[in-house]
Amino acid sequence: MQLLGLHHITAIASDPKVNHDFYTRVLGLRFVKRSVNQDDPGTYHLYYGDEVGAPGTALTFFPWQGMRRGRSGNGQAIATAFSIAAGSLAYWQQRLTRLGIATTPLPARFGDDVLAFTDPDGLTLELIATNQPDPRVPAPSADVPREHGLRGFHSTTLAVVDAAATADLLTTVMGYRRVATAGNRTRYTVAAGAPGSAVDLVVDPALPRGLSGAGTVHHIAFRVADDAQQLVAHAALEERAVGVSPIIDRAYFKSIYYREPSGVLFEIATDQPGFAIDESVATLGTRLSLPPRLEPQRAEIEAALPSLD
Ligand code: ZN
């Protein structure tokens, strides 16, 4: 299969307004889609990203009011890293500190500086100031100057108990290549190491088993260019007896799902058609977007959802 890197990452939150304020105002991402959880239309599905929510930039949330916190640990994506310009780490450290958000500078990782912090639900985020070329343009933001903006995903870190099994799936079926190891962390990339393609595997026997809940990642989605490439991926996973779902039309992309050997839920999603299929780029996120089958219930659904403004 030909994966192009990370497509989106979906995590669990509690209060949707707090989540919305943090990702749009504090981090300066664009709110690109206001939709509902297709399996639970009484709750939101919120999407943040660059100006259009391009694949590789979209962080999405299922915010469930009152959701208890999960526990970060093995079998989970334990950190979500965004790419920022090499000179922008000091800006972010000052900005987050000024806003009362605790930051932790981490030791350089494969030559890049890393700043870690958590979102209001405890989700671990990292900003990686990288010298590697990254032509992706941050979303326009009234709060964050564009030169310091988040350019999209840098990498995800998976905590695995059986690194060999996960690495085998990544390298033999998914086309990833091992590029570097430092300590207990090994980095894999695809698509010639394109920005937003890295998956780091971390082995830490001291970590507990992860528990799903607010502040944890729900799944990691990888990009394929089109429907044909998704069929290739589906066939390759079936041949490997990985237990892959049928193809599901998510309106903004088509998806297949499977669980990697350490328990992290993976998805492979198409680049097309993208978030501008049901509203214009200029107005993305301003209106509740519903799949056609839920349109007849729009009034009830809108009345039940809390305000984000
Ligand atoms: Zn997804």
Stretch 220-225: mean pLDDT, rounded? Answer: 98
Ligand 1 geometric centre to CA of 11 (Å)? 9
> In whole angstroms, what separates CA 16 from the centre of its chain?
17
Q: How far, in Å, from the CA of 267 to the mean position of ligand 1?
A: 6
Q: Calculate how far, in angstroms, residue 8's C-alpha sits from the geometric centre of ligand 1.
A: 6
Q: 90: CA distance to ligand 1 center in Å?
A: 32
> What domains can be seen in the chain, in order of their start residue?
6-304 (3.10.180.10)
- Contact present, 45 and 166 (Cβ < 8 Å): no
Per-residue confidence band for 309, with pLDDT thresholds at 50, 70 and 90: confident
CA of 218 to the centre of ligand 1 (A): 8
Q: How far is the CA of 94 from the centre of ligand 1 (A)?
A: 32
Give the rounded percent of residues in the chain with a pLDDT score beyond 90: 96
Cα 97 to averaged position of ligand 1 atoms, centre (Å): 31
What stretches of 89-227 adopt beta strand conformation (E)?
A: 104-109, 112-118, 124-130, 153-159, 177-182, 185-189, 198-202, 217-224
Distance CA 300, CA 290 (A): 12
219 vs 251, more confident: 219
> What's the pLDDT score for residue 76?
97
Global confidence as pTM: 0.97
pLDDT in tens, 60-107: 999 999 999 999 999 999 999 999 999 999 999 999 999 999 999 999
Question: Ligand 1 being an ion, which residues bring their Cβ within 5 A of it?
Answer: 10, 221, 267
**Model confidence pLDDT, tens digit, residues 169-184:** 999 999 999 999 999 9
Q: Ligand 1 center to residue 296 CA distance, Å?
A: 24
The Å distance, Cα 108 to ligand 1 centre, comes to 30
Q: Yes or no: say if 26 and 101 are a contact pair by the CB < 8 Å rule.
A: yes
Place of tokens 């690109």: 32
Cα–Cα distance for residue pair 247/250, rounded to 1 Å: 9
Q: How far is the CA of 107 from the centre of ligand 1 (A)?
A: 31
Residue 265 to residues 10, 158, 270: CA-CA distances in angstroms? 10, 11, 17
Percentage, residues of the chain above pLDDT 70: 100
- Residue that is written with structure tokens 């509902």 in the block: 36
146 CB neighbour count, 10 Å cutoff? 12
Is residue 305 within 8 A of residue 17, CB to CB? The reply is no
How do residues 261-276 score in pLDDT, each as one tens digit? 999 999 999 999 999 9
Task: Indicate the average pLDDT of the chain.
Answer: 96
- The model's confidence at residue 39, banded by pLDDT at 50, 70 and 90, is confident
Question: How far does residue 286's CA lie from ligand 1's centre (Å)?
Answer: 21
Please check whether residue 148 is in contact with residue 91, taking contact to mean a CB–CB distance below 8 angstroms.
yes
Spatial contact of 75 and 202, defined as CB atoms under 8 Å apart: no
Q: What is the pLDDT of residues 18-33, one digit of tens each?
A: 999 999 999 999 999 9
What pLDDT score does 154 carry? Answer: 98
pLDDT tens by residue, 96-136: 999 999 999 999 999 999 999 999 999 999 999 998 999 99
**pLDDT number for residue 65:** 92
Confidence of residue 219 (pLDDT cuts 50, 70, 90): very high
Confidence of residue 45 (pLDDT cuts 50, 70, 90): very high
State in Å: Cα 9 to ligand 1 middle. Answer: 7
pLDDT digits (tens, 9 = 90+) for 5-21: 999 999 999 999 999 99
- Rounded to the nearest angstrom, the distance between the alpha carbon of 61 and the centre of ligand 1 is 10
Interatomic CA distance for residues 244 and 256, integer angstroms? 7
> What's the mean pLDDT in 214-219?
98
State yes or no: pLDDT of 241 exceeds 90: no
